[in-house]
Amino acid sequence: MPRIPHRLLPSVDRLLGDPRLKGLGVDSTILKELVREVLKEAREAISRGLTPPESDQLVESVLHRALAILSPTLRGVINATGVIVHTNLGRAPLSQEALLAMEEVCRGYSNLELDLASGERGSRQSHVETLLCRLTGAEGALVVNNNAAAVLLALAALCRGREVLVSRGEAVEIGGGFRIPEVLAQSGARLVDVGTTNRTYLRDYEQAIGPETAAILRVHASNFRIVGFVHRVTLEELAQLAHQRGLLLLDDLGSGCLLETTQFGLAYEPRPQDAIKAGADLVFFSGDKLLGGPQAGIIVGRRTPIEAMRRHPLARAVRIDKANLAALQVTLLHYLRGEALAKVPVWRMIATPLQEVETRARRWAQAIRYATEVRPSLSMVGGGSLPGEGVPTAVLAIPGRGGWVTALAQRLRQGLPPVVGRIEADALILDPRTVPPEQDDDLVQAVRKALKAEL
């Protein structure tokens, strides 16, 4: 009687007894599941008429899956793209002091919600609220886990069941499918479009105000730009109208820039302190864009609506965690101490002189010892901030034809450490502006290794 191929497969216990699977550091239940998965796939392959795999092949398959589980997928990369606030690469890198603060509060216990003077329960918001008020001139502040949550919380707490006026040109979608109309719907508020996509006047808002209107929401076009035949109402005009009619004026800035961008040759980016001065009741912005800190949604403004949001049940669901809170506090202190250009990586990159960047690019070229070119280019701000705006830079270009450049970029991404560049005009582009100088040697070695692998 011929042997049934399925019976040629080893049992689960036999595979688990293989010395190569012992001491892997994988939970025994998980390891058993992996063995069963491999055996199931082997039986399915045999049913399709394929040759039964050998025991060694089965063990190797289990090993491969186990190692994949044990290897972290989230890892640091070298950002040589020239995009300073790169959303896909984690947005803003943190200062060394911010990293140390995160480590300190996570290593053990902290006074996250304890008043050390009184011994009574405190508020985690106290660690950043005073700093934010001093930096922006606001009466109060509240921090949640991201800017989308900040806008959602405000709408739910202050506008639920009522109308919110938004210019048609500002009913936008940003990264990840975040759409202003959908956020309004989730909050329970009702969107009322005013004006047109390219031109909205004060009279459009005036005519739309009714007995059910709760607020006017202005949304900064942080990731796109409308040019040409356009008109937009100023924040000062909106503030006057809103307060005359007893409405709230909400200003969603998005990027959260505290410094004057024009000093670096960039377009003007509205700042929270400017919005407060112009009369906005609440201003929303991110912690991990031009602020240069951790992921956070920051709300500054009048004390009364801030307190209403603080008491809302949703506030607990979207609150900021202790690690990001520690990093945010230190980042804000950099601004208060006047050291943001030197300490906050985003601003250090923006402020680095072109000559210094070019010198590093030439050093890379000499160290790599390959047919490279140093070219002028632009480092883009990115991250939904200052659309189309860039800082002059010098890049290292590695020219090639066809799929060669694409293959080189892939080898660099899959190396250790991963290096991410950009492809432009049949060349791999590596921009020193977004690479910390302490990573220069790692980048050079990674490029040399990737080029050597191709040869």
**Residue pLDDT, tens place only, 98-112:** 999 999 999 999 999
- Inform me whether the pLDDT recorded for 121 exceeds 70: yes
Whole-number pLDDT of residue 174: 64
Task: Scan for tokens 């201003």, then name that residue.
Answer: 283
| Mean pLDDT estimate for the chain | 92
- Going from N- to C-terminal start, the domains of the chain cover 5-70, 78-86+347-454, 96-343
Residue 284 and residue 149: Cα distance in Å, rounded? 10
Q: How confident is the model at residue 226 (pLDDT cuts 50, 70, 90)?
A: low
Report the helix count and the strand count for the chain, using DSSP H and E.
Answer: 18, 15
The backbone region for 369, taken as left when phi is positive above 0, alpha when psi lies in -120 to 50, beta otherwise, is: left
Residue 253 and residue 275: Cα distance in Å, rounded? 9
Residue range 131-138: mean pLDDT, rounded = 98
Residue range 239-267: mean pLDDT, rounded = 94
**Which residues is 416 bridged to in the sheet?**
none
Phi, psi of 113, deg, nearest 5: -130, 45
Please report, as a single letter, which amino acid is at residue 252: D
Is 163 strand, coil or helix? Answer: strand
Residue 62 and residue 37: Cα distance in Å, rounded? 9
Residue 325 and residue 7: Cα distance in Å, rounded? 59
Whole-number pLDDT of residue 203: 95
Residue 221's closest CA among 386, 92, 91, 88?
Answer: 386
Q: How confident is the model at residue 1 (pLDDT cuts 50, 70, 90)?
A: very low
Residue range 290-302: mean pLDDT, rounded = 97
- Inform me whether the pLDDT recorded for 358 exceeds 80: yes
- Inform me whether the pLDDT recorded for 320 exceeds 80: yes
Please report, as a single letter, which amino acid is at residue 71: S
Residue range 250-259: mean pLDDT, rounded = 92
Residue range 348-373: mean pLDDT, rounded = 96
- Inform me whether the pLDDT recorded for 90 exceeds 90: yes
Whole-number pLDDT of residue 272: 97
Residue 183's closest CA among 173, 193, 196?
Answer: 173
Give Cα 238 to chain centroid, integer Å: 30
Q: Which residue blocks in 113-234 are alpha helix, DSSP H?
A: 129-136, 147-158, 180-187, 202-208
Residue 106 and residue 96: Cα distance in Å, rounded? 16
Q: Which residue blocks in 159-270 are alpha helix, DSSP H?
A: 180-187, 202-208, 235-244
| Residue of higher predicted confidence among 3 and 297 | 297
Percent of the chain with pLDDT over 70: 95
Residue 113 and residue 92: Cα distance in Å, rounded? 27
- Please count the other Cβ atoms lying within 10 Å of the Cβ belonging to residue 316: 9
- Inform me whether the pLDDT recorded for 2 exceeds 50: no
- Please count the other Cβ atoms lying within 10 Å of the Cβ belonging to residue 194: 23
- Inform me whether the pLDDT recorded for 330 exceeds 60: yes
Pick the CATH number of 96-343 from 3.40.50.970, 3.40.640.10, 1.25.50.10, 3.20.20.150: 3.40.640.10
Residue range 223-240: mean pLDDT, rounded = 81
Q: What is the DSSP letter of 264?
A: G
Whole-number pLDDT of residue 454: 62
- Inform me whether the pLDDT recorded for 3 exceeds 60: no
> Cβ distance 384 to 289 under 8 Å?
yes
Q: Does domain 78-86+347-454 have CATH number 3.55.40.20?
A: no
Residue 295 and residue 318: Cα distance in Å, rounded? 12
The answer to whether the 78-86+347-454 and 96-343 domains have the same CATH topology is no
138 contact partners, CB below 8 Å, separation of at least 6: 132, 272, 276, 283, 300, 301, 302
- Inform me whether the pLDDT recorded for 223 exceeds 60: no
> Cβ distance 141 to 125 under 8 Å?
yes
pLDDT 10s digits, 422-455: 999 889 999 999 999 999 999 999 999 999 876 5
Residue range 144-171: mean pLDDT, rounded = 93
Residue 12 and residue 443: Cα distance in Å, rounded? 45
> Cβ distance 378 to 282 under 8 Å?
no
Whole-number pLDDT of residue 232: 85
- pTM of full prediction above 0.85: yes
Residue 329's closest CA among 126, 136, 152?
Answer: 126
Q: Are strands 297-301 and 282-286 parallel, antiparallel or unpaired?
A: antiparallel
Instruction: Classify burial at 87, counting beta carbons within 10 Å of its beta carbon; exposed 0-12, middle 13-18, buried 19 or more.
Output: middle
Half-sphere exposure of 211 (CA within 13 A, CB side): 0
